[in-house]
Amino acid sequence: MPGTAIIGLQWGDEAKGKIVDLLTEQNEIVVRYQGGSNAGHTVVANGAKFKLSLIPSGIFRPHVQCVIAGGVVLDPAALLKEIDSLVARGINIGSNLMISDRTHVIFPWHHIADWMFNNIGNDEPIGTTMRGIGPCYEDKVGRSLAIRVGDLFRPDFKELVEHVAGVKNRLFLGLTDHCDNTMRIPGLDAELDAEAIYRQYLGYAERLRSYVADTTNYLLDAVDADKRILFEGAQGSLLDIDHGTFPYVTSSNSSGVGISGGSGVPSHFLKKIIGIVKAYTTRVGGGPCPTEQNNDIGQRIRERGNEFGTVTKRPRRCGWFDAVAVRYSARLSGVDVLSVMLLDVLSGIDCLQICTAYEINGQRIEHFPSQIEYLRKAVPIYETLSGWQEEITGITKYDDLPDNAKRYIKRIAELIGKPVEIVSVGSDRQQTVFV
């Protein structure tokens, strides 16, 4: 049976969680394979709202095996909090959750480093979620200061923590001696207490022990057994570390190119990649966003779409649909079909704009630029479509959508070059239209 992937095609928060939850019914395994607690995926089931950060959005269906694969960076405190809050709401979490022993662990020194290096030396900081994600991936790639979930159970774990904390202390104290006050963060004057961190993480390890497994082998066996696997991307393709709007990106391959690397499942197993897009654009944090609307339209979208970060509660930057960016990310991520989300948010706007090209240095450009300075100069060239006044949140059949809403969807499909298979008109499972 085929593997299916859900990939965000913009700058994150495209409502991936909703579609993962919806499609979980047809799958046996749901895998998170990159990112960490920077993600905030919302699932609304029969009026009840759940926000997931590390646990795959398949957790609400009891028959499904959820897997946190080795490409994720795991903050044990965040995960345990999430488990406790779900269990308190009656969700079963036991052997249906598996965590890779290859997953890298986020420690307090990663949070400190996120604070220190968010500012990249110009006026516009990256604006990270401050969850220690980038620094943990740095240590993974650097290898010598990395600690993986499997290491939590080693007999010499205490010595490992002492060693890494000792190195980090020297690095941080050296840096704060020579930096101005903007890089000072509360608590940094005190040294990292290796003994306290060791004890804290030993406690986490005991609670996590029963979930830990070699998920790479588990997934390869599942592939051999023809199991139906759903891969849940976090963030969005334009935040991809290699192919996104660098340096205003996250630290993992959040586009389709990351599925195989993060999970260990060969890419030819993937038979369907569903690209998730909002009917407009949002972005949280720094970096260019050519179609951003710093005006009444942007404000209207933010209010109607409740566009405030799931993780950090920051107001999301909002703007028109950018077909140049999405055409690029759909191709990059190998997308077969599109799912257009939050279409209801656009109801009541007289004229809708879609960006079909950029003007950069007086030239018309139809491809997405690789260099951030170039993208910063991009002036969107818009095509205008008539909007619709009707509320559409109760519509369940494609034919019942207003004609102008259907025209808008059709135009997105044409511009991206992929068919639209799902249209979402509200946050609940039921508010979904199959085309």
In the complex, the residues that contact Mg ion under the rule CB under 5 A are 13, 40, 310
Taking CB under 6 A as the criterion, the residue among 3, 12, 298, 369 binding ligand IMO is: 12
Q: Which is nearer to ligand GDP, 8 or 286 (CB)?
A: 8
> Do residues 322 and 290 touch, judged by C-beta distance below 8 A?
yes
Residue 426 near which of ligand IMO, Mg ion, ligand GDP, none (CB within 5-8 Å, type-dependent): ligand GDP
Identify the residue whose tokens are 């919302």: 42
| Residues of this chain, 303-342, that bind ligand IMO according to CB under 6 A | 310
Q: Which is nearer to ligand IMO, 108 or 134 (CB)?
A: 134
Residue 301 as a binder of ligand GDP (CB under 6 A): the answer is no
> Catalytic one among 21, 41, 111, 139?
41
Strand, coil or helix: what is 118? coil
Identify the residue whose tokens are 């050519």: 290
Residue 126 as a binder of ligand IMO (CB under 6 A): the answer is yes
Taking CB under 6 A as the criterion, the residue among 86, 284, 345, 423 binding ligand IMO is: 284
Contacts of residue 254, defined as CB under 8 A and 6 or more positions apart, other chains included, come to 8, 12, 34, 35, 233, 234, 235, 236, 237, 239, 240, 241, 244
Contacts of residue 422, defined as CB under 8 A and 6 or more positions apart, other chains included, come to 19, 274, 337, 338, 339, 340, 432, 433, 434, 435
352 φ, ψ to 5°?
-105, 145
Q: In whole angstroms, give the CA distance from residue 152 to residue 158.
A: 9
Residue 431, token pair as written in the block: 């508010």
Tell me how far apart the terminal alpha carbons of the chain are, to the nearest angstrom: 23
Residue 40 as a binder of ligand IMO (CB under 6 A): the answer is yes
Q: Assess whether 41 carries a catalytic annotation.
A: yes
Fill in the per-residue mask, 31 to 70: x = in contact with ligand GDP (CB under 6 A), - = not in contact: ---------xxx-x--------------------------
Residue 192 near which of ligand IMO, ligand GDP, Mg ion, none (CB within 5-8 Å, type-dependent): none
Taking CB under 6 A as the criterion, the residue among 15, 74, 152, 259 binding ligand GDP is: 15
> Do residues 233 and 34 touch, judged by C-beta distance below 8 A?
yes
Q: Which is nearer to Mg ion, 114 or 232 (CB)?
A: 232
Residue 129 as a binder of ligand IMO (CB under 6 A): the answer is yes
**Active-site annotation, residues:** 13, 41
| Interacting residues with ligand GDP (CB under 6 A) | 8, 12-18, 40-42, 44, 305-306, 310, 341-342, 344-345, 424-427
